[in-house]
Structure 1
Amino acid sequence: MASHSQKAPNKLISESSPYLLQHAYNPVNWYPWGEEALQKAQAEDKPIIVSIGYSACHWCHVMERECFENEQIAQIMNQHFVCIKVDREERPDVDAIYMDAVQAMGVHGGWPLNAFLMPDMKPFYGGTYFPPKDWAQILLNIANAYPTHKAELAESAEQFAESIALSEIQKYRLGGKESSFTVEELRTMFGQVATKFDPIKGGTGKAPKFPMPSIYLFLLHYYHITQDAQALAHVKLTLDQMAFGGIYDQIGGGFARYSVDEHWFAPHFEKMLYDNGQLVSLYAEAYNATREILYKEAVYQTIGFVRRELTSPEGGFYSALDADSEGEEGKFYVWTAQDWQQALQEVDLLGIPADVFTQYYHITTQGNWEHGNNILYREATEEAFAQAQGIDSQLFKKANQLLQAHLLSIREERIRPGLDDKILCSWNGLMLKGLVDAYKVFGEPSFLDMALQNANFLKTYMRSGNQLYHSYKNGKTTIAGYLEDYAFVMDAYIALYEATFDEDWLHEAKALAKYVVANFYDEKEKLFFFTDIHAEKLIARKKEIFDNVIPASNSAMAKNLHKLGLLLDIPTYTEIVDSMLAPVKKLILSDPQYMSNWASLAAFRAQSTAEIAIVGPEAEIFRKELEQYYYPNKVVAGTFVESWLPLLENRGVVGGKTTVYVCYNKTCKLPVYSVIDAIHQLADVHA
């Protein structure tokens, strides 16, 4: 294989996306998505190949090696097609359209995603990963069919385009006027989700298993309202098993994207920022509800991983770490028995026999995974394991910390997985929210420092006026913001206000909300488009409704407007939330597993959201104390002296004491002068 210096680059060489740059020296004449490629296809009357993936995608790398670096296959592609490479993380709008198309063709979606289009961008065929022999045959079949059967292909493409253009409201025949929810309806929704529970290892369904943070947040919110022990038990089972499993990096912290098996044992080793941001939020909230020390450790270690490996000098967070290093999946993270034993000999284990740790992490001589390698996992907390071994738990914990630090230092000497160092606004919003949630629960100053650095980065580098940009790299912002960028950053800013009482963050959130309502809202269907009205016109303008590993931008936006409507007393926002919930209520009730972030909003609406105002010199102390109680369905405003915010206006200090006002539906209880009295008022409402 020729080195890059001996090859001529293709058009991707000028891009900033690490994924596109990975393909810049392929013999395929790749173009980035844009006018040049689309006009070339029309001018030369050639079909288009759109190949979509992302930098941490293992099978994307495999298809590149097998197909796109193959000179003979590249020659067919270059001769008969205009070839476009897309980073799905940069262009989720393009990805969503052609993912819909491939699924409409009866193919189970995934990446790499490969779609064949007419020159007018309408798709007529597609699939995911293709082995080289199959890919070459498909290329030749289409190249031969295009000149002679163009009319039939165009007709097929038109039908797929019409299918793609249907909104979810049309596709699922949604509608309705009822936007309220009852506790009984929440019970029905929980019952639907519970049918998918794995009672042995947690999670929903069988392999592969993805962390689905919004499902477990819904279960926590449902539990808080109903005290249904089954809901909390399943959350704890799932979070325990994930933190024990190979999906969690037992040495360095942080979660991999998913587990290929049903036991959370063997990860697909890429680490994504969006997973880790949300899981920090989830584990922090679960700790607040349960006081399980395992969850605190997961939060601290995961934030440590993000600080160490995904933080840019300016305070932005990078997107992902690859699954592969040295062309081998997971090589950076696994241990042979020989490497393990040598590492154990090099560290002081405080008198605890080395084989105790071999047993704790399930290291075997033959390897517990592929090719004689071991994935570290455990089946108990440090305390429980030490107790079972008859070892002092504090001594074991300290020795384990020394071992982890040593193993981490050894691992740092290995060739690292590829880093996707683009900074995505939406994913940074999720991580920022995670940091703020962790700070609220644990009061750790370094978490707030990281959060403020990131929030100021987003405000400084990824915003122009009230508009956001989606991507940042090498000092340059690119791509107009999508709804997800606004929704997740707004959520984080609202949380940051509630954690600091710095009103600038609330004003930032309000300004973004105003822009979104003006430029994304569809008055007809009462939901938000994924793209700005000023964005590039594609063959369809989509709306995102279903919650997945990342919540749908519409459900996130609805939750934001619910909170802002209360914090800022903007009835219009509350009306928009009503109008958003009404058409999708049918889906929330029937398919809560796929509408789990909506379901959390339903839980907030089934019982009134508490509006808590704290006024006085000890407002910050009161806020910290308040956060030690698990009460998720609330908004909190505070000031040390006075404020013109609606929740704080005309609410002053009584008798020189810091005063707490607990209100529901704009009706307040008597002011109280301690957090515990406020908690009693909150409890009385739902007694």
Structure 2
Amino acid sequence: MIETHKANRLIHSTSPYLLQHAYNPVDWFEWGEEALTKARNENKPILVSIGYSSCHWCHVMEREVFEKENIAQVMNEHLVCIKVDREERPDIDTIYMEAVQAMGINGGWPLNVFLTPDQKPFYGGTYFPPDQWVQVIGGVHKAFTERRGEVDDSANELAKLLADQDTSHYKKAYEFTELATDLDKMFAKLASAFDKNWGGLDKAPKFVMPSVWLWLLRYYHITKNEEALNQLTITLRRIAWGGIYDQIGGGFARYSVDSYWFIPHFEKMLYDNAQLMSLYSEAYALTKEELFKTVVVETFEWLQAEMTHPQGGFYSALDADSEGEEGKFYIWKKDEITEILKEDAALFFDFYNVKDEGNWEHGNNVFIQTQSEEAFIKKHNLTEVTWREKLRGFKDQLLAVRDKRIRPGLDDKIITSWNAMMVCGLLDAYKYIGDERFLNAALKNMKFIESELTEGSVVYRSYKGKRSATTAFLDDYAYLIQACTKLYQATFDEYWLRRAELFATFTVDKFLDEDDGFFYYTNKDNEALIARRKELFDNVIPASNSVMAQNLYHLGSLLDKEHWQQQAEAMTTPLCHIIISEPNYMSNWGIAYMEMKKGLAEVVLVGENNMTLKKEIFQTYQPFVLTLGTKTQSALPLVAGKTAVDNKSTIYVCFKKTCQRPVFSSKEALEQINDLT
């Protein structure tokens, strides 16, 4: 942050990204009535400049453009300039990203869009170098003052396009056939894009896309298709071996720039790591592959060390850059490692492909594993125990040195949806690995959300020192409901189930479009933007509508609210044709579809030993099970009347409104579950 200028209005923001611009000479506003009124009163075009704290090219444009006095003078004279953090205001970002893409321009960040005073976009782009930026402002000013009619006509046409939320063209009547047939069609579509050597989908750059692989786990559970399991394990091993995974400190970078998972874009995002906690935990439950458990534990340790607020909230992201250079914090020269590891360095070099000349650019090395530990141990005549001890020691020594380097920037705002996603990741890790640290971190985080980001049924988007004034969006509610639902199943504390019910009721009331059955991204009581959007397609983060469909289906089961289950099915069924034909864009919908068509077993555990029995059940992979429980008695519809028979802890396995005979061991319960699901 450069402080040679007087602070502008952004100094009062809760956004780290906006605070980075607080000493720019640009007369920045936050999005709000003050800026919009100024634009109307002065009849000036609005610049909406959107980015986020860990965005590399956002930093570059600030340094080259927004910090320059002469450029700022031009901007201040001709424009009303608004800075937006896309992570605090995804509603604004989504609208204007779609606008730029509708103009035929590839989207990305920084996103710079010019609007009429009534918020309608008429021109935009992404990163602009200084000379081009000044020319663009001149062109915008000339068009706005000399050809205003053309500008307004174009803006009105684009605004009309953005406001169109008719989802009927995505819907199609679907006649259900065999579940196995539909699943095989989805698998065949995904398999056509598999990279069978390096894992993932066959393209570069490579994003992990966790929900695709979570779908594949469930597909294998149902079909036992060995090709699916092989592709899954190849993918998860290659990612865990690659540079995209921080081999020294744990945690995953956002994506790989190549097709080998080798060189990452080095920023680490909370939402990626949250979903990968779930993915690797589930994969460990299925395969018992020790590597997958190690990845979960190391990622958790990174989360605790670098991403956790003292009160338990989770920070948003780590920059790719440190000292103005992408990846500098994470890369190594061979000589540095030799100095640290001494005579053991050669062993480390062979394991992680470290080269004299560097395995990347400028003589630098990024650690990447290309052989299994088993093969490496055999090659070097080591025992497994000896090697594991050595490797842990190597990592600790290098981490101690790395921790003294200048760190990448930390985006320390706490976003409700991303925190709830990480709670889900931690609870999945607890479910399948059993480490109490995961549960404790999840509980501490939820208590932070409860105390700092909620007020009754109203949830707020983010926190940095104080909560932002922006209330929550659909993804915040959707993931918070999911987290509360999972937390009940982890603890059997009915408080969390009632919280899930409260937030779900609020979401249905404030976000649902009753005409088409899908949810808007924004609360109907929020300020009106030029369009009210709906998220339908899954991406790196699943669509908030697909998460809500799952929530309603799960809560409908747990609370015996059949109308919520019916609502979930009414959302999912009209999209089945797209789910089946384009599963890479509908992977979380695909999981919801599986759950609804296959059905979920409801496992009720009653008695003093219920938590131990539950842990034993989840020693195996059970993705189609919901759990309920009490030590004594409960008024929950599915638990009421169920008792500990003969004072022995008792398990009731129910499916589609029919319960099996009560049993007393996890082995017997698993036999019943496997017969039903």
**TM-score normalised per structure 1:** 0.96
**Deviation of residue 532 (structure 1)?**
0.9
3-state SS, counterpart of residue 647 of structure 2: coil
**Deviation of residue 173 (structure 1)?**
4.3
**Deviation of residue 75 (structure 1)?**
2.2
**Deviation of residue 73 (structure 1)?**
2.4
Residue-pair matches, total: 677
Structure 1 residues 5 and 527: CA distance shift in structure 2, 3 A: closer
Task: Confirm or deny that 1:554 pairs with 2:551.
Answer: no
After TM superposition, list the pairs within 5 Å mapping 1:21-36 onto structure 2. 21-36=19-34
Structure 1 residues 322 and 487: CA distance shift in structure 2, 3 A: same
Aligned partner of 2:261 among 259, 264, 274: 264
| 1:311-358 deviation per Cα after TM superposition (whole angstroms, max 9, x unaligned) | 00111001111111111111111111221221212xxxxxx7421111
Partners of 2:30 and 2:340 lie apart in 1 by 46
3-state SS, counterpart of residue 49 of structure 2: strand
Partners of 2:374 and 2:400 lie apart in 1 by 25
3-state SS, counterpart of residue 594 of structure 1: coil
Residue equivalent to 2:349: 358
**Deviation of residue 4 (structure 1)?**
3.9
**Deviation of residue 8 (structure 1)?**
1.4
Aligned partner of 1:443 among 429, 434, 449: 434
Aligned partner of 1:332 among 329, 347, 359: 329
| 1:456-485 deviation per Cα after TM superposition (whole angstroms, max 9, x unaligned) | 111121111111111011133431011111
Q: Is the 8 A contact 2:170 2:575 kept in 1?
A: no
Partners of 1:150 and 1:414 lie apart in 2 by 53
3-state SS, counterpart of residue 6 of structure 1: coil
Residue equivalent to 1:295: 292
Aligned partner of 1:680 among 664, 671, 674: 671
Partners of 1:380 and 1:484 lie apart in 2 by 39
Partners of 1:493 and 1:383 lie apart in 2 by 40
Residue equivalent to 1:415: 406
**Deviation of residue 570 (structure 1)?**
0.3
| 1:637-682 deviation per Cα after TM superposition (whole angstroms, max 9, x unaligned) | 0111111111111111222222111111111111111111111112
| 1:166-210 deviation per Cα after TM superposition (whole angstroms, max 9, x unaligned) | 12615x443436689722111111111221211111111311111
Task: Confirm or deny that 1:164 pairs with 2:162.
Answer: yes
**Deviation of residue 235 (structure 1)?**
1.2
Task: Confirm or deny that 1:388 pairs with 2:379.
Answer: yes
Letter in 1 for 2:211: S
Residue equivalent to 2:526: 535
| 1:117-144 deviation per Cα after TM superposition (whole angstroms, max 9, x unaligned) | 1111111111112222322222211111
Task: Confirm or deny that 1:105 pairs with 2:131.
Answer: no
3-state SS, counterpart of residue 230 of structure 1: helix
Letter in 2 for 1:475: K
Q: Is the 8 A contact 1:169 1:583 kept in 2?
A: no
Residue equivalent to 1:309: 306
Q: Is the 8 A contact 1:168 1:545 kept in 2?
A: no
Task: Confirm or deny that 1:581 pairs with 2:565.
Answer: no
User: Structure 2 unaligned runs (5+)?
Assistant: none
Partners of 1:476 and 1:565 lie apart in 2 by 32
Aligned partner of 1:427 among 418, 425, 440: 418
Q: Is the 8 A contact 1:67 1:132 kept in 2?
A: yes
After TM superposition, list the pairs within 5 Å mapping 1:632-671 onto structure 2. 632-671=623-662
Partners of 1:606 and 1:68 lie apart in 2 by 54
Aligned partner of 2:125 among 124, 127, 137: 127
Residue equivalent to 2:507: 516
User: Structure 1 unaligned runs (5+)?
Assistant: 346-351
Task: Confirm or deny that 1:210 pairs with 2:212.
Answer: no
3-state SS, counterpart of residue 641 of structure 1: coil
Partners of 1:136 and 1:373 lie apart in 2 by 37
Partners of 1:340 and 1:136 lie apart in 2 by 47
Aligned partner of 2:473 among 482, 485, 499: 482
Q: Is the 8 A contact 1:387 1:393 kept in 2?
A: no
Q: Is the 8 A contact 1:178 1:582 kept in 2?
A: no
3-state SS, counterpart of residue 646 of structure 2: coil
Letter in 1 for 2:284: Y
| Range 336-345 or range 284-293, more displaced | 336-345
3-state SS, counterpart of residue 470 of structure 2: strand
Residue equivalent to 2:317: 320
Aligned partner of 2:246 among 246, 249, 253: 249
Residue equivalent to 1:231: 228
Structure 1 residues 451 and 290: CA distance shift in structure 2, 3 A: same
3-state SS, counterpart of residue 83 of structure 2: strand
Partners of 1:283 and 1:676 lie apart in 2 by 25
Residue equivalent to 1:348: none
Residue equivalent to 1:368: 359
**Deviation of residue 384 (structure 1)?**
3.2
Partners of 2:312 and 2:490 lie apart in 1 by 19
Partners of 1:166 and 1:560 lie apart in 2 by 27
Letter in 2 for 1:189: M
| Range 659-668 or range 175-184, more displaced | 175-184
| 1:370-407 deviation per Cα after TM superposition (whole angstroms, max 9, x unaligned) | 22211111123434321222222211110111110111
After TM superposition, list the pairs within 5 Å mapping 1:486-497 onto structure 2. 486-497=477-488
RMSD across aligned positions (CA)? 1.5
Partners of 2:166 and 2:265 lie apart in 1 by 31
Structure 1 residues 18 and 234: CA distance shift in structure 2, 3 A: same
3-state SS, counterpart of residue 407 of structure 2: coil
Partners of 1:130 and 1:206 lie apart in 2 by 27
